Amino acid sequence: LADPADSSQQQQQQRRPDGRLPRRPRSPPLECVDVSQIADKFPSVVAACATFWSPDRTGPYLVKFWADINTPIRMRLALSTDSGPQRLTLSCSTKVCSFGRQVVEKVEKHIGPRLESGRYRSKPDVRVHVNFITKLRQLPEKYMMNTVLENFTILQVINCESSGDSLLCIAYVFEVSSGAAQHHVYRLSRG
């Protein structure tokens, strides 16, 4: 993952003479997947997605990952950093599902992230994910890893505690890649 500090430095260098950032080309619309196609893998996906199906909202999303199991795990790369101009109290609900049943739910509250260079930053704890990948790599064959991953999904919902707004809903599915790691993002739709 790119360091957010590098991104802000790059943006500073790309500013137009009037101080504004150049316009970025619009991304093509995301391919849609009907939520009914994945509902059997996520016990509460329809309820979690409900607040995002209004015309003025984006998402919810489905992300399919093809993982390069041979890539070394580096804790530094596994961590993501959230940053923004406002100090928000966020909660991140991560539901791990196996065979369509919720196995565990971890709710992290990011209360009062620290202020760095005029932006509030917080880093989630991902040790559980790193431990899972470490155990998965111990399986002797790729097809065994894919059998595990075929029945392993994650549903993540991020809420703003102070406003009560749901900010993001992402369903994740996984497969072991034959080559380099890849991902594809879809927008979830209903019927």
Residue 101 lies in a domain: yes
Residues in contact with 62: Cβ distance below 8 Å, sequence separation at least 6, in sequence order: 33, 38, 170, 171, 172, 173, 185, 186, 187, 188
Better-scored residue on pLDDT, 126 or 152: 152
CB 131 within 8 A of CB 111: no
Tokens 């893998």 -> residue:
41
Summarize pLDDT for 56-86 with one digit per residue, the tens.
677 788 999 888 887 776 644 444 455 566 6
The string of DSSP letters for 103-157 reads: EEEEEEEE-SPEEETTEEEE----HHHHHHHHHHTTSSSHHHHHHHHHTEEEEEE
| Reported confidence tier of residue 9, pLDDT bands at 50, 70, 90 | very low
Domain that includes residue 60, residue range: 29-189
Number of domains in the chain: 1
Residue 142 lies in a domain: yes
Residue 14 lies in a domain: no
Minimum mean pLDDT range among 58-67, 70-79, 113-122, 178-187:
70-79
- How many residues in total does the chain contain? 191
| Reported confidence tier of residue 190, pLDDT bands at 50, 70, 90 | confident
Residues 107-112: contacts with CB under 8 Å, at least 24 apart: 109/161, 110/82, 112/87
Residue 112 lies in a domain: yes
Minimum mean pLDDT range among 8-12, 84-88, 97-101, 143-147:
8-12
Residue 102 lies in a domain: yes
Does the reported pTM lie above 0.75?
no
Q: DSSP secondary-structure letter at 54? A: S
Residue 20 lies in a domain: no
Cis peptide preceding 60, ω within 30 of 0? yes
Dihedral angle sign, alpha carbons of residues 139, 77, 130, 65 = negative
Q: What is the CATH number of the domain that holds 96?
A: 2.70.50.80
Residue 148 lies in a domain: yes
Residue 23 lies in a domain: no
Take residue 91 and report the two structure tokens written for it: 């909660």
